[in-house]
Structures are given as structure tokens and as C-alpha cells.
Amino acid sequence: MANYVVDASIVIEYLITGTYTPNVQAFFNQVTANDHLVVPEFCLLECTNKVCRSFQLHISHELLDCTNPL
């Protein structure tokens, strides 16, 4: 049995494909039912902020692409 602290960066890499997603997937693949995952209280808030920022950047890039002449 092992205890792991899972912070927002790990959760985000698991949910949104990024540079370290394969590492995060490998980590979760080796976690067993006997292991304990500890998530800080503010993880949900941090994840929400990251998803909102990513969405805003995506929308901004799309808007910039629409305003550029072909």
C-alpha cells in the first residue's frame, strides 16, 4: 500500500492531453486498489481555472484566425 498526493497538474494532464500525459497514464496504471490517493482541497479550483484559461486561449486563437485575410 502506498500513499500518493495528486495535485492539479496531474489531474489536468490526465484530462487534457499534454506533454506529460503518457507519464500520468503510466502512474495511474500502476496505482492499485490498496493505494491511497490524496487530493488537496483546492485541486478542483485549480483545475477549473486551467480549463477556463485553456478554453479562453482556444477561442482567442480561433478569433484571430477569422480576422486574418486569406
User: Tell me: the pLDDT tens digits for 6-25?
Assistant: 999 999 999 888 899 999 99
- State percent of the chain over pLDDT 70: 86
User: Hey, what's the torsion of the CAs at 28, 33, 39, 43, to 10 degrees?
Assistant: 50
Q: What is the pLDDT of residue 35?
A: 96
| Mean pLDDT for the chain overall | 86
Give, in degrees to the nearest 5, the angle at Cα 54 between 25 and 13.
10
Q: What is the pLDDT of residue 12?
A: 92
pTM equals: 0.68
Q: What is the pLDDT of residue 70?
A: 55
* Rounded CA separation 59/13 (Å): 20
Confidence band, pLDDT 50/70/90 cuts, at residue 53? confident
